[in-house]
Amino acid sequence: MQPRDLSDHVAYEAGRGIEEVARELDRDPSEFVKLASNENPHGPSPAAAVAIREAASSVSSYPKAAHADLTEAVAERWDVADEQVWLANGGDGALDYLHRAMLEPDDAVLVPEPGFAYYGMSARYHHGDVREYELSKADDFAQDADAVLEHYDADRDRIVFLTSPHNPSGSTIPLEEVERLADETSDETLIVVDEAYGEFADRDSALALIEGRDGFDARDDVAILRTFSKAYGLAGVRLGYAVVPEEWADAYARVNTPFAASEIACRAGLAAIDDEEHVERTVETARDARAYMREYIDAHVWDSEGNFVLVEVGDAAAVAEEMQRRGVIVRDCSSFGLPGCIRITCGTEEETERAVETCNAVLADLDVEPDAGDATTEAEVPDT
């Protein structure tokens, strides 16, 4: 007996962890810093950590009350109806729910390339096809409606994914362009704006298009994705959500996995959502780290509004491997179709400075000649 044909499916390549690398290299984990998975360098919200400990004694019960309480809290945060909030086991789970609600067999989703692999993976799980539109490195991964519409097929594309900020480049798309895209696509096409890194960006949420705020008309063809993994530091508990138009919000009850967000995740989310100090500190750290890396890395670093930067290093595999050997784990972006680039997560001040020093030393020692493009002038890294 064999499973169904999975030849079109690809495995998700996650960033490597400290324990994994330390075992492989037979080294002490304390020698390494991980800047590969866009995790929060300050850890979880302290309030969430307390809530997790306190929730431990209640995990024998299903999280019905906690699920309802968190749904209400998120709805209040965005000033939407509770029914518009679709809690899930991470942002990935929310993607699954949208595909369950929207896709018929052989419908297609249109996704950015490069981009988050799970958009296409989830669509295929739900018997949908996957088509791509290009975000060009030569254009600094600029996002606008034209880049999408050039590849859009009104007869096939049921969902169009936008990532703002985009992973791995950090570019964003203006809300006016999202609105134009929604206007110029079919009434039966849903525009999903993935705002997993939204807290780090100096842009308003596309929720304005769902609710008709800030001068936009309300729409029933736009949804957003958010996560507690990044700014709130809860990647390990797996908690995310979608915010959808009110007109079809009740579909959640028909497509969600029962109790998909666990008791611990819901209690952690309830505590974290009010921990504004932790989020502000995290966002400030990311902004400082982005600026530092752009100024002092001896290679082209793209502008980013996420908690990471993309760096042109010429040979990503070689540079990432050598940086890892020297104790700094970064993301080789070959799996994104960018074999000349690495992605470096924004760490603490100390971690970021170590990453810059290590990257520059590796580039010099390997005699790598990256395509610098319009790179900023190299600067001497200050002593710390």
The long-range contacts involving 274-280, CB below 8 angstroms and separated by at least 24 positions, are 274/47, 274/73, 275/45, 275/46, 275/47, 275/48, 275/232, 278/42, 278/45, 278/46, 278/47, 278/232, 278/233, 279/45, 279/199, 279/231, 279/232
pLDDT of 379 reads 44
pLDDT of 371 reads 58
Task: Clarify whether residues 221 and 292 are in a common domain.
Answer: no
Does 375 map to a domain?
Answer: no
Task: Clarify whether residues 268 and 286 are in a common domain.
Answer: no
Task: Clarify whether residues 341 and 301 are in a common domain.
Answer: yes
Does 78 map to a domain?
Answer: yes
Query: pLDDT tens, 171-182?
Result: 999 999 999 999
pLDDT of 260 reads 84
In the chain, how many domains are there? 2
How far is the C-alpha of 258 from the C-alpha of 252, rounded, in Å?
11
pLDDT of 7 reads 72
330 SS3 class: coil
Does 72 map to a domain?
Answer: yes
Task: Clarify whether residues 308 and 359 are in a common domain.
Answer: yes
Does 137 map to a domain?
Answer: yes
Query: pLDDT tens, 56-101?
Result: 998 998 998 999 999 999 999 999 999 999 999 999 999 999 999 9
Supply the angle between the helices 276-296 and 349-366 in degrees, to the nearest 10.
Answer: 20
Task: Clarify whether residues 136 and 22 are in a common domain.
Answer: no
Task: Clarify whether residues 105 and 250 are in a common domain.
Answer: yes
Does 173 map to a domain?
Answer: yes
Task: Clarify whether residues 98 and 203 are in a common domain.
Answer: yes
Query: Low-confidence residues of the chain, pLDDT below 50?
Result: 372-381, 383-384
pLDDT of 374 reads 43
What is the model's pTM?
Answer: 0.92
Domain encompassing residue 134: 46-272
CATH number of the domain bearing residue 180:
3.40.640.10
Task: Clarify whether residues 285 and 232 are in a common domain.
Answer: no
Does 250 map to a domain?
Answer: yes
Does 374 map to a domain?
Answer: no
pLDDT of 124 reads 93
